[in-house]
Structure 1
């Protein structure tokens, strides 16, 4: 199992209003957990990492077809395409995937 890189956008568990300090936790298997890195986060990372691998060759092909596109422009186009797919990815995950796919060497 791959470890989750530091730049991967972990899910935000939630927010609680008020003046007093609060700790947000979830009850999982009879234990209170406040760590965002759970099996759920690992599954999200695996899904996103798989999409990076699949999109990397597409990004390379588009880079060859459109050498006038900047890396930022290509990344924006990939991100836009991912948003249109409606696969349940967060905006942070979409940015991470498109950035990684464009960053892989040619």
Structure 2
């Protein structure tokens, strides 16, 4: 990871997702290079951030294109339609985004568009 690459403070930092058998509560811990991690490493977090930010930029371009192609659409409708498309891709397993990452991506789209 380059020192100048930073994950913004508002990007979701969730625990690592894992399925652990048994009835008692558990915490998933991973041992990586002699260190224990209960969440993502800085490199993994940066990778997820970059992917989400890239997706937000692509979706902002998509919304801009759809706005010009469909002048009768409101911006609210355009964003809702885009949000539903993202949710559908996640639900069908095509994209791997958490609910928090989906919210962040859509907030970033709005920020990029200035809507």
Instruction: Say whether 1:3 aligns with 2:6.
Output: yes
Partner of 1:98: 106
Following superposition, the deviation at residue 31 of structure 1 comes to 1.5
Closer, same or farther: CA 91–66 of 1 in aligned 2, 3 Å: farther
Query: TM-score normalized by structure 1?
Result: 0.71
List runs of 5+ in structure 1 lacking aligned partners: 18-22
Select the residue among 6, 22, 34 that pairs with 1:30.
Answer: 34
Instruction: Give runs of aligned pairs for residues 12-91 of structure 1, distance below 5 A.
Output: 12-13=15-16, 17=25, 26-33=30-37, 36=40, 38-64=42-68, 65-66=70-71, 69-71=74-76, 73-85=77-89, 86-91=94-99
Q: Provide the rounded CA distance (Å) in 2 between the counterparts of 1:104 and 1:67.
A: 21
Query: TM-score normalized by structure 2?
Result: 0.66
List runs of 5+ in structure 2 lacking aligned partners: 18-23
Asked whether the 8 Å contact 1:9–1:92 carries over to 2, the reply is yes
| RMSD of equivalent CA atoms | 2.8
